[in-house]
Amino acid sequence: MSPGILAPIGRPRLMGVVNVTPDSFSDGGRWLESDAAIEHGRELLAEGADILDIGGESTRPGATRPLVEEELERVVPVITALAAEGAVVSVDTMRAEVAEAAVAAGATIVNDVSGGLADERMLAVVADAGVAYVAMHWRAHSDHMADFATYDAPGGVVRAVRDELAQRVDAAVAAGVEADRIVLDPGLGFAKQGEQNWQLLRGLGEVLSLGHPVLVGASRKSFLGALLGDEHGPRPVDQREAANVALTVELARAGVWGIRVHDVRSSHDALSVVHRLHDPRQEGQE
C-alpha cells in the first residue's frame, strides 16, 4: 500500500522549498541559518504546504557541491525541528549519507534529483529506510549538465526522459525500493534547454503513463524568465510567480501528484480555485 502522503487527495500536493544554502538561484542565503530556515518552513506550512522540501546543496546551473559535512550541518537541525512539530519533511539530496541522517531526523521522503545516479548507495539506503522516493531525470552534476542537453533520438526529449526514468524505476525496484513508494520528476531545467522544458511539459502524459505519481518543479526557473523577458534580458527571478501560478493550474488539470514551489500561498490559492470550480458538491455552501 502506498504511503499516505502519496495517496490521491483530489489535487496536487504542494511541496514548499526550504533552501538552506548560500547560493540557490531563487533565494540563496536567505534561509542559510537554521533558525531562519525553520521559521520559513513554518510560514510555508501556514500558507498551505503539504510537504517541506529541505535541501542543503544548490543545484542551480554551474553550482559547485558543498562538502558532505556542510550539507549535513545545514539540513539535519532544520529537519529535526520541523519534523518534531509534525511537518511532512522531504530531504532534497543526492547523497546517501545525508539521506540516512535526514530519515533518522524525521524525513519521510527522499527527493533525489539524480534518481540514484550520483551515489551508488542511495537506492539501498532508501530501500532499507522504507520511505517515499522521488527520482528525478538527471544526466550530470550542475557544473556541466548543460553539456548533456542533447536529445537527438526519435521522440526527442519527451521519449528520452520517459525511457530514462523507466530505467531508474527498474533500478530502484531491483535495489528493494517498493514500486508504490516511487515518485517521478521530469527534471525541468536539468540538462534541458529552454524549448526542451516546454516540450516536456506538453508531453507530460508520457511520464504519467509510467504509472507513478509525478512531481513537477518549474517554480522561478530560467525558462520562465526567458519567456517573460524583454530587451533588458530575462525576467528577474522574483518576478516570475504569475507564470508559475498559470503552470500550477495546468499541472493540476494534467493530474500530477505534486508541484514543488517557492511561493506556496499563490499556488495554494490557484489550486483552491481549480478545486472549487470543478467540485459541484460545494454548491450552495458559501
**Residues with catalytic roles:** 221, 260
Give, in order, the Cα–Cα distances in Å from 8 to each of 132, 214, 217, 253, 263: 14, 12, 19, 14, 22
d(CA 210, CA 4): 20
Where do we find the cell 495546468? 250
Starting from the edge strand earliest in sequence, which strands make up the sheet with 89-92, in order?
182-185, 132-136, 109-112, 89-92, 51-55, 13-19, 258-261, 215-216
Cell readout for 240 is 516570475
Could you tell me the three cell numbers for 274? 481549480
18: left (phi over 0), alpha (psi -120 to 50) or beta: beta
